[in-house]
Amino acid sequence: MSYVKNLECLKCGKTYPAMPDSYTCPSCGSEGILDVIYDYKAISANVSKEKLKNNQNYSMWRYLPWMPIIPETIPPLRVGWTPVYNAERLADVIGLKTLYVKDDGLNPTASLKDRASAVAVAKAVETGADTIACSSTGNAASSLAGNAASVGLKSYIFVPGRAPEGKIAQLLVFGATVVSVQGSYEDAFKLSAEAIDRWGWYNRNAGINPYMVEGKKTVSMELCEQLNWHVPDWIVLSVGDGCTIGGAWKGLVDLYETGFIDRLPKVLGVQAEGCCPITTAFVNNEPIRPSEENTLADSIAVGVPRNPDKALRAIRDSHGTMINVSDTQILEAMRLLGSTTGVFGEPAGVTGLAGIQKAVAEGIIDQDESVAFVVTGNGLKDVQNAIRAVSEPIKVPPDMDLLVKALSERG
């Protein structure tokens, strides 16, 4: 049974029936991002913490009552229910009492994007489409290709020339038709939009497809359930298009409105200094202006964000804030996370942690506040940048004396 009421435009407030192939508001055009509206009363009447506790489905689909999905269309890959760690050593280093790490790099194609792509594939199946397409900085693409392959859908993927090899390898292994656009993410986005129009494929582009945040929101719903419904003071995420942070906020609001949590956290969004259009718009309280895409964190190198409205709503409504970190701080955070927790994140996957370090240093986050952040993508996707973050291995001939000498030189 679906509890979806309708789709509502964030700009003009008009409502529309929730069709599987609804994208943006017909009156406002591409600026009119739609939001899925639920009958919260009916959900609270039919779902309870007890019922959820007895649900043996340990995946994102355990939150089906809060999702716009028909069960028969759910693809088979196991997405969600990724682990949450209480990272005590890491918290110590940063000077926090409580820091939780949710490792979403453990999803089937190794990023949080699987949560959205699984929903996209379900929706494509619902419309009867045989082809699905998107443009992506990399992870939306590889997750779409993987989830499409799991149900036998064809996929067409547009990536910017700079996408890391690991992600391209995933796409090709999953059998996608990959178009590497020799230009920026913005160029890839525009070309994909034209191609989707021309050939009538199902469109997974996150800024346009209102259902993507409905998948991404399960990350914060899970986090709350895994913390036994104790909501941390802050939830921290890296921000590119803005869809992930908008989704995480939607999940929290859904839980709050249906009585599963009794307060809402503050949300901290983190961007890279070399590409921070959403931070700039937030801090100066001005419209989004295109920015250059100058960061090694490829997944958040989005010069023209496609979903800034949902991101800015998350930050404002939660009384949170946005900050920027440098590429050096991102690489440092990668090393710190790995060496204190055993979790390996890609650059955009650890940008949230770099943001926490800065926010604590600047007094934005108080040392007594509890903080949770999400590792949004796995470090094995981008080994080249990881190598830049670390030192060389010790090279020795197979000889014990030389090993002793080499180790003492390293201290």
Ligand X SMILES: *Cc1c(COP(=O)(O)O)cnc(C)c1O
Residues lying near ligand X in the complex (CB under 6 A) are found at 111, 113, 139, 206, 238-245, 299-300, 302, 346, 348-349, 376-377
Place of tokens 């191609």: 195
Going by the DSSP 8-state scheme, the letter that residue 376 receives in this structure is -
Residue 9 site contact among Zn ion, ligand X, none (CB < 5 to 8 Å, cut-off depends on kind) = Zn ion
Which one among 4, 28, 191, 193 touches Zn ion, defined by CB under 5 A?
28
- Least Å from the CB of residue 240 to ligand X: 3
What token pair was written down for 397? Answer: 């001939």
Measured CA to CA, the distance from residue 369 to residue 268 in angstroms comes to: 13
Is 7 or 322 the residue whose CB approaches ligand X more closely? 322
Q: Which is nearer to Zn ion, 25 or 96 (CB)?
A: 25
| Cα(223)–Cα(221) distance, integer angstroms | 5
Q: Which is nearer to Zn ion, 11 or 162 (CB)?
A: 11
Find the shortest distance in angstroms from Cβ 148 to ligand X: 17
What residue 365 binds from ligand X, Zn ion, none (CB within 5 to 8 A, per partner kind)? none
Q: How far is the CB of 247 from ligand X (least distance, A)?
A: 7
Distance set, CA 392 to CA 328, 331, 386 (Å) = 17, 15, 12
| 208 touches Zn ion (CB under 5 A) | no
When CB distances are held under 5 to 8 angstroms depending on the partner's kind, the choice from ligand X, Zn ion, none that residue 32 binds is: Zn ion
Distance, CA of 410 to CA of 390 (rounded, Å): 15
What is the Cα–Cα distance from 380 to 382, expressed in whole angstroms? 5
277 binds, among ligand X, Zn ion, none (CB under 5 to 8 A by kind): none
Whichever of 293 and 309 has its CB closer to Zn ion, that residue is: 309
Edge to edge, the sheet with strand 202-203 lists: 177-181, 154-160, 131-135, 202-203
- Tell me how long the chain is: 411
Nearer to ligand X, 129 or 213 (CB): 213
Helix 327-341 crosses helix 347-361 at what angle (to 10 degrees)? 100
* Shortest distance in whole angstroms from residue 144 CB to ligand X: 12
27 binds, options ligand X, Zn ion, none, Cβ within 5 to 8 A by partner type? Zn ion
**Residue 125 contacts which entry, ligand X, Zn ion, none (Cβ below 5-8 A, type-dependent):** none
Task: For 326-338, give the DSSP string.
Answer: -HHHHHHHHHHHH
Residue 360 binds Zn ion, judged by CB under 5 A: no
Residue closer to ligand X (CB basis): 184 or 244: 244
**How do 34-38 and 84-86 pair as beta strands?**
unpaired
| Cα of 393 vs its chain's centroid, Å | 32
Report the nearest approach of Zn ion to the CB of residue 26 (Å). Answer: 8
Give the one entry of Zn ion, ligand X, none that residue 244 binds, where binding means its C-beta sits below a cut-off of 5 to 8 angstroms depending on kind: ligand X
Tokens standing for residue 36: 């899925």
Residue 397: helix, strand or coil by DSSP? coil
Cα torsion angle, 59, 386, 370, 277, sign: negative
**Which is closer to ligand X, CB of 340 or CB of 376?**
376
* Residue 12 makes contact with Zn ion by CB under 5 A: yes
List the single partner that 207 binds among ligand X, Zn ion, none, CB under 5 to 8 Å by kind.
Answer: none
Q: Which residues bind Zn ion (CB under 5 A)?
A: 9, 11-12, 25, 27-28, 32
